């Protein structure tokens, strides 16, 4: 279990690692680069090949403070290389520590729907799909067919304008792509929400593009109409912080508080990634990371 700079969660839990390309959002996968660069190390002995890590199944019970836990920052829970029996073990680990909220995000929604056709989604699980391009909008329909207490969409990396049906979707995260590959002007032009600013004119090094900023504004507005909480993670660029995370002069830190008991007890937004996230009563608040039992 590790702390993370992903600003919409608190901890990452890697009971499985590894994945493979499945859609346009995957082309510059940070997790693949990370894992392959560390192939042969204790952290990633098999690089980005599917690897079960059963020794990590006890980790949720060791976290004392109720927390938001992103379950698959370097994997996809519903990858065909992961047996259902192991998914059952990961769910058992969640149910052994239901004080947490477990964020499971997939690009393989058909497999998730099939899996949950014979199983109940744990109430402590948030189930989401990645939809960053118009060609993958259909994943939302698969998610909507699953009887989950909380469903969410991650529109990151946001690669096109999206017109979405958000019925039954409780939370949406938007974000521009980030990574060192965006130092390439062609890739920056083709995939990023940001462009190089004119620093001589007082602009930041990277600024939100006018046209693609409208992609984010549209999602914000669609969420407002649908009653879906909206979180804008980042504008992106060569690093996650290159373009900041403000949209029209403000941050958007919506959490699905309208879903009863959706959040862990006592949860507040943390100033985790240096973005100054709004905590309770509009104050900045540093929250101590969860303590691990020995």
231 belongs to a structural domain? yes
Domain count, the chain: 1
Q: Where are the beta strands (DSSP E) in the chain?
A: 2-3, 11-12, 16-17, 51-52, 68-70, 101-106, 125-130, 150-155, 171-175, 194-196, 206-208, 229-234
What range defines the domain where residue 220 resides? Answer: 2-15+50-282
Task: Please indicate, yes or no, if residue 122 is contained in any of the structural domains.
Answer: yes
22 within a domain of the structure (yes/no): no
289 within some domain = no
Domain assignment present for 228: yes
If the chain, 294 residues long, is cut into consecutive pieces of 10 residues, what is the mean pLDDT of each piece? Answer: 90 94 91 92 92 96 95 94 98 97 97 97 97 97 98 97 98 97 96 93 92 97 97 96 95 94 82 36 34 34
Give this prediction's pTM. 0.88
In-domain check, residue 25: no
Q: What is each CA distance from 221 to 79, 176, 218, 252, in whole angstroms?
A: 32, 17, 5, 12
Residue 31 lies in a domain: no
User: 155 in a domain, yes or no?
Assistant: yes
């Amino acid at each position: 279990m590790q702390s993370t700079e992903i600003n919409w969660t608190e901890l990452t839990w890697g009971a499985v690692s590894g994945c493979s390309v499945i859609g346009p959002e995957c082309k510059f996968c940070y997790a693949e680069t990370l894992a392959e660069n560390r192939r042969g190390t204790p952290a990633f002995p098999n690089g980005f090949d599917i690897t079960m890590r059963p020794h990590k199944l006890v980790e949720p019970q060791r976290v004392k403070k109720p927390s938001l836990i992103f379950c698959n920052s370097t994997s996809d829970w519903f990858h065909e290389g992961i047996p259902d029996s192991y998914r059952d073990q990961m769910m058992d680990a969640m149910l052994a520590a239901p004080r947490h909220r477990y964020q499971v995000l997939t690009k393989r929604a058909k497999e998730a729907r099939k899996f949950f056709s014979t199983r109940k989604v744990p109430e402590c699980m948030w189930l989401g799909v990645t939809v960053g391009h118009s060609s993958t909008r259909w994943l939302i329909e698969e998610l909507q067919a699953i009887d989950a207490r909380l469903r969410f969409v991650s529109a990151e990396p946001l690669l096109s304008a999206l017109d979405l049906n958000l019925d039954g979707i409780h939370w949406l995260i938007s974000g521009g792509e980030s990574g060192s590959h965006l130092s390439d002007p062609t890739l920056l032009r083709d995939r990023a929400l940001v462009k190089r600013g004119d620093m001589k004119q007082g602009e930041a090094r990277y600024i939100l593009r006018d046209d693609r900023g409208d992609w984010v504004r549209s999602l914000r507005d669609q969420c407002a109409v649908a009653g879906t909480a909206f979180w804008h993670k980042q504008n992106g660029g060569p690093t996650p912080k290159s373009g900041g995370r403000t949209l029209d002069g403000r941050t958007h830190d919506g959490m699905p508080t309208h879903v009863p008991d959706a959040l862990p007890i006592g949860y507040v937004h943390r100033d985790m990634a240096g973005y100054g996230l709004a905590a309770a009563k509009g104050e900045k608040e540093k929250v101590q990371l969860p303590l691990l039992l020995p």
